[in-house]
Structure 1
Amino acid sequence: MNHKKYIFLDGLRGIAALLVVILHTGKFWGWQPAHGYLAVDLFFLLSGFVIAYAYEGKLSAGLINKRQFVSIRLVRLYPIFFLSLIFSAAIAAGRAILAHYADLLTIPQISVSFILNVFFIPSPIKNNEILFPLNGLYWSLFYELLVNIIYAIVRPVLSTKLLLAIIMGAAFIVFGVATVHGDMNIGFNNDFASVVAAFGRSIFGIFLGVLMFRKKSFFLDYINNVLHVTIKPAFAFLGIVAIMIMPDFSSLNALSDVLAVIFFFPLLVLHCIEGTTKRWGRAMLILGAASYPAYVLQAPFAALAYFGIGKGVVEKHAPFYGMVFLFFLIIASVALEKKFDIPLRQWFSARYIKKSNNSKRTDEQSSS
């Protein structure tokens, strides 16, 4: 089966990942994108669309079952995730041994967290509310997997009405959380508000992405011919970037974040879906390839770079070190995706998922 390439969606995943990198390496830049955390909501939205594109037909036709779908999603995430986990645990152990930092994890805590995280299980520890203290960014992967499982379970009865009801309920949660918290930079801790926020953000984005895949022609026709709003893909792409780097609005952050996630992101992504570009196509593909490795590897790589360059030196020469770090992170991410991630995923798929599918067909033939 030939899969269509949504070139601008690849670019969006990549640029969103890089903005998250800049957000978490502010010392390298002397600046942080004030709303860079909204990249996670964009990830959820794009993930829902791509999952529906890739698997709705197969699930409906019975070509894969729920268990195989979840296995495919795990295989998609796991090789780079496990590599990142090893690096993150090694960095945490090094910090503990050198005792250069106040926010240290002990070796026993690191060991327990590592063992739990291997199975994608959160490991919040005493005096540390982060769900994944070895690498806080894993929280979004955890909730994406949970919502993927929910999607697989409810998909057989997931009519348009039910889909809309789920999206509207999650939108209400997103609005409430943003209003109470003051913005949408919440979801990575293990307190009640954070868990509710994370479920609201992930369910809203992923299920809205599914709806956008199913009804993209209707939405685009309505926007273009009824509302008479037409945005070129390149401008829609830049609009999404502009939202994530817009200035801090202080007391208005809650409103601006909600409008971005519930209204502007879906509108602009719809205009990016069918976009094509010859001039920037290669760059978009590179950004897409680098997006996931850069997202999960940024924390250990940044910690290593910061330690190697030296405290104070990084800040003094910002944003030079930021640009150098980002350049090498992209190169490393693309290389890892090509030489490590894809081969391992193909091996796992051939050995376990396809083998399981062939066994199922053999059993069906034997019983017929």
Structure 2
Amino acid sequence: MTARSFRTLDGIRGVAAICIVAHHMPQCFGSWLLSAQMAVDMFFVLSGFVLAHVYEPRFRAGMTPLHFLRLRIVRLYPLYLLGTTLGILQAVLMALYYQGPDIWNWPRILPSLPFAAVMLPAPFDKYLFPFNAVMWSIFFELAANLIWVVFWRRLERTGFLVAVVIGSGALLVVDTFLFKTTAVGMGWNTFLPGFPRVLYSFTLGILLHRFHRAVTLRRVPPGLLLVAMPVLALLPLGAYGQLFCALVVLPLIVLLGAKTETSGMTRLFCERTGVASYAVYALHLPALAFFSGLLLIFGLQIEDSPLLGPIFIVLVVLGCVLLADKIETPMRRWLSRLVPGPAPGAVAVGRKES
């Protein structure tokens, strides 16, 4: 199945990104999306599954860790840089013209700039990535990528991979009991628990890919899988319900999605939202700040109408589809030329990397 595209997984990732956007708009959606932060755990499982599909054959053919990491930076850095630059611009404008809660000022901005430029957490701020807070998960994903590629020979042994999944899952359970939430990793106060969170989901995604062909499951309509994440996000699950979803439910959705084909408009939706998902995730916070500022010019606030929130989500998704097609993908292809080619004999597979 190396040529398979997993379009349903693309759609699940796109819907998860939309859930995160809505989660960061409490002024529009209130406390409806009580469990939407689980979408990040879904991203980690999907990433492990898709990257295993794309790169394990290449590793076996001789791709080096350095080449893999360069490709990951080429994939992630352009939109990271765009989102961070917009966040820096917002911070500067607030430092110059706004005095209020959560103040931006030069002593807060300047020390964080060099770390932001190289995708590292800011050691002097309570947020790991103060200019674009959601980038904490990209940092942890890159950390998981690094661990995977460095220890790939050992992780290729199924027993060792299962041990990592079980060990990191056990630590995730402990962390949830200690912190009374699964939403860890965003700030320095929960920095260390962020590693078990990403490692469990990412390595389980790798394990699911390794055995998904051998698992026989009844086919589930792709539409049901696409709405699964929003439905879970609406449920008042609490910390332990969210933990159960992270440990069991979300991986099951990914496994079912991997065994489900799409067609027609559903396939088109999955393709387009999947392509745009990273842009939606990386850019929605600065885009929301811009949208809110634009409304203020007309004397409006985003919470003034129940339609403004959904309108923003539609606009940001459509804008990111165009951005991904017209700018991000061509730029990534151009940047890929700067990366030394894979080792002789390395194979490509028919799925774009996550």
- Give yes or no for TM over 0.5: yes
Question: Aligned in 2, Cα 1:305/1:240: closer, same or farther, shift over 3 Å?
Answer: closer
| 8 A contact 2:64–2:343 mirrored in 1 | no
Q: AA paired with 2:152?
A: R
TM-superposition CA deviations, 1:229-283 (whole Å, max 9, x none) = 664443333333311221x24xxx1221111011111112111112122231111
- TM-score of the superposition, structure 1-length normalised? 0.87
Work out the CA distance in 2 between the residues paired with 1:348 and 1:112.
Answer: 29
TM-superposition CA deviations, 1:286-328 (whole Å, max 9, x none) = 11112101101111111121122138632221x2111111111
Q: Tell me the equivalent position of 2:142.
A: 145
Report the structure number with the largest CA radius of gyration: 1
> Which of 247, 251, 255 is equivalent to 1:262?
247
Q: Tell me the equivalent position of 2:14.
A: 14
Q: Tell me the equivalent position of 2:303.
A: 315
Work out the CA distance in 2 between the residues paired with 1:306 and 1:213.
Answer: 41
Q: AA paired with 1:259?
A: F
Between 1 and 2, higher relative CO (CA 8 Å, sep ≥ 6) is seen in 2
| 8 A contact 1:85–1:134 mirrored in 2 | yes
Which structure has the highest helix share of the two?
1
Alignment of structure 1 residues 143-292 onto 2, 5 Å: 143-158=140-155, 159-191=157-189, 194-218=190-214, 220-221=215-216, 224=217, 231-246=220-235, 248-249=236-237, 253-279=238-264, 280-292=266-278
Q: Tell me the equivalent position of 2:317.
A: 330
Q: AA paired with 1:299?
A: L
Q: Tell me the equivalent position of 2:350.
A: none
Q: Tell me the equivalent position of 1:352.
A: 339
Question: Aligned in 2, Cα 1:3/1:345: closer, same or farther, shift over 3 Å?
Answer: farther
| 1:112 has 2:108 as partner | no
Question: Aligned in 2, Cα 1:116/1:138: closer, same or farther, shift over 3 Å?
Answer: same
What is the aligned-residue RMSD (CA, Å)?
Answer: 1.9
Work out the CA distance in 2 between the residues paired with 1:209 and 1:74.
Answer: 20
Q: How many residues are aligned here?
A: 340
Q: AA paired with 1:234?
A: G
TM-superposition CA deviations, 1:81-125 (whole Å, max 9, x none) = 111111010011111111243212223432332221111111142
| 8 A contact 1:29–1:321 mirrored in 2 | no
| 8 A contact 1:85–1:114 mirrored in 2 | no
Work out the CA distance in 1 between the residues paired with 2:213 and 2:75.
Answer: 28
| 8 A contact 2:74–2:336 mirrored in 1 | yes
Work out the CA distance in 2 between the residues paired with 1:54 and 1:164.
Answer: 20
| 8 A contact 1:294–1:333 mirrored in 2 | yes
Give the drift of 1:2: 7.5
Work out the CA distance in 1 between the residues paired with 2:111 and 2:319.
Answer: 29
Work out the CA distance in 2 between the residues paired with 1:199 and 1:93.
Answer: 32
| 5+ long unaligned stretches in structure 2 | 345-354
TM-superposition CA deviations, 1:155-189 (whole Å, max 9, x none) = 11211111011000111111112222222122111
Q: AA paired with 2:45?
A: L
Question: Aligned in 2, Cα 1:329/1:111: closer, same or farther, shift over 3 Å?
Answer: same
| 1:136 has 2:133 as partner | yes
| 1:103 has 2:102 as partner | yes
Q: Tell me the equivalent position of 2:76.
A: 77
Work out the CA distance in 2 between the residues paired with 1:267 and 1:71.
Answer: 31
Secondary structure at 2:82 match in 1: helix
Question: Aligned in 2, Cα 1:105/1:74: closer, same or farther, shift over 3 Å?
Answer: same
| 8 A contact 2:9–2:257 mirrored in 1 | yes
| 1:36 has 2:36 as partner | yes
